Amino acid sequence: MTAPLKHSADITVDVALGDRAYDIVIGRGVLETLGARVAALRPGVRTAIVTDRTVAKHWLEPTERSLAGAGIPTSRIIVEEGEISKTYAGLEKVSEALIAAKIERNDLVIALGGGVVGDLAGFAAAILRRGVDFVQAPTSLLAQVDSSVGGKTGINSPQGKNLLGAFHQPLLVIADTSVLDTLSPRQFRAGYAEVAKYGVLGDEAFFAWLDANHADIFSGGAAREHAIATSCRAKAAIVCRDERENGERALLNLGHTFGHALEAATGFSDRLFHGEGVAIGMVLAAEFSAQLGMISAADAARVERHLASVGLPTHLQDIAGFTQEGLADADALMALMAQDKKVKRGKLTFILLQAIGRAVVANDVEPALVRDFLQQKLSG
């Protein structure tokens, strides 16, 4: 697998869900086409844009211009940046603003932002008037390759990540890769963890390609579009086979059982971005798989080495304030994992590795083994 030598034309990935199928449009500058695409899909529609304060500074007015150019009226709803908005209070604010904007069943909500905005706006759309369609315009790498695709929406509970939500597929995803130029290096790295995840869980050749081409992805070269499109195709294929996560889709949670617990332990704060938690979680999953004899220590080290090479945290000790808020307590982390939405009848579900590129769902892992493993890692 090799990268294209130059930026290609826009790439369209089809999410083939029958009468709920939709396109993911990937390319530089495609946000400018949003208005024309929405008008073609829903003539006469009205829209409301949900975004956060930081994204609004860069991309709200261009988005409004695109819609206005297609004759589409719109209103704006601006929330605070970060997980602080993925709460009951944040959901109430967005929902009430949508009602005040008179968004009706045949109108559209547009989620302009990263994963937080997409999850929050999508959930508000899912429950507004018992269901209003929405469009994802993801502005972070993480959202473009993961959270904007597949229809998972929701908010956090104080007891855990994404415990309240709904499956609600978007009508369209517009992934403009030029907007990623405004991300901080840390935000881009955090999103890259989800790109690497697709290679680790199901495509060793892609993982090897990332090893060779990640510098071009980070610098904004043609490898960026290729990596995003490959990631979206991988997720779309799994979602189409298992939309409601009754089986194979659980593989997409590689690194997330550990990672979500770490996010909860750090208070869903900027001490640990979601993608950073996933990076640490993937390394823990690989190392735990090696401890169970499922993969070699060399393969586990290869996962850790790649993520570290792009500057992602890979160890618990890399988290800011490591000894605070239960991070040095294996029992506290186990309690947080017990609240994970993938728990079934009290049993934890882990995504483990049989090889790089071959992940499996493990429903029968002995909790004592997980606790001992965490204690070992916590002690350094």
Q: Hey, what amino acid is at 121?
A: A
Residue ranges for the known binding site are 81-86, 115-119, 139-140, 152, 161, 194, 256, 274
The closest of 112, 128, 138, 123 to 88, measured between CA atoms, is: 123
Please indicate whether residue 224 is annotated as part of the active site.
no
pLDDT value at 3 more than 70: no
Quote the CA–CA distance of 179 and 143 in Å, as a whole number.
12
Catalytic residue among 256, 302, 342, 377: 256
pLDDT digits (tens, 9 = 90+) for 67-113: 999 999 999 999 999 999 999 999 999 999 999 999 999 999 999 99
Catalytic residue among 197, 235, 341, 342: 235
Residue 5 has what pLDDT? 45
pLDDT digits (tens, 9 = 90+) for 54-64: 999 999 999 99
Please indicate whether residue 315 is annotated as part of the active site.
no
Query: How far, rounded to the nearest angstrom, does the alpha carbon of residue 277 sit from its chain's CA centroid?
Result: 12
Quote the CA–CA distance of 289 and 303 in Å, as a whole number.
12
Would you call 155 helix, strand, or coil by DSSP?
A: strand
Catalytic residue among 64, 194, 287, 304: 194
Q: Could you tell me the two tokens for 335?
A: 């309690």
Residue 354 has what pLDDT? 97
Please indicate whether residue 194 is annotated as part of the active site.
yes
pLDDT digits (tens, 9 = 90+) for 321-336: 876 655 678 998 998 8
The closest of 41, 94, 51, 43 to 72, measured between CA atoms, is: 43
Contact 370/334 with Cβ under 8 angstroms? yes
Domain edges within the chain: 11-182, 197-378
Residue 147 has what pLDDT? 94
Please indicate whether residue 64 is annotated as part of the active site.
no
- 3-state DSSP: the chain helix, strand, coil percent, rounded to 5? 55, 20, 30
Residue 215 has what pLDDT? 96
Return the CATH number of 197-378, one of 1.10.3720.10, 1.20.1090.10, 3.40.50.970, 1.10.540.10: 1.20.1090.10
Catalytic residue among 37, 93, 152, 214: 152
Residue 343 has what pLDDT? 65
Burial class (CB in 10 A: 0-12, 13-18, 19+), 335: middle
Please indicate whether residue 253 is annotated as part of the active site.
yes
pLDDT digits (tens, 9 = 90+) for 202-261: 999 999 999 999 999 999 999 999 999 999 999 999 999 999 988 899 999 999 999 999
In DSSP terms, 176 is beta-bridged to 27
Q: What is the DSSP string of 161-191?
A: EEEEEEE---SEEEEEGGGGGGS-HHHHHHH
The percentage of residues in the chain with a pLDDT greater than 70, rounded to a whole number, is 95
The closest of 202, 133, 122, 215 to 162, measured between CA atoms, is: 122
Q: Mean of the per-residue pLDDT values for the chain?
A: 93
Element (H, E) at 363: none
Residue ranges for the known binding site for Zn(2+) are 194, 256, 274
pLDDT digits (tens, 9 = 90+) for 150-168: 999 999 998 888 999 999 9
Catalytic residue among 156, 162, 213, 253: 253
Class of domain 11-182: alpha beta
pLDDT digits (tens, 9 = 90+) for 195-214: 999 999 999 999 999 999 99
**Helix and strand counts by DSSP (H, E) for the chain:** 14, 11
In the chain, alpha helices (H):
34-41, 53-55, 61-69, 88-100, 115-127, 141-142, 185-202, 204-219, 222-241, 256-265, 274-291, 297-309, 330-337, 367-378
Please indicate whether residue 249 is annotated as part of the active site.
yes
DSSP label at residue 91: H
Residue ranges for the known binding site for NAD(+) are 81-86, 115-119, 139-140, 152, 161
Catalytic residue among 130, 246, 344, 345: 130
Catalytic residue among 260, 271, 302, 377: 260
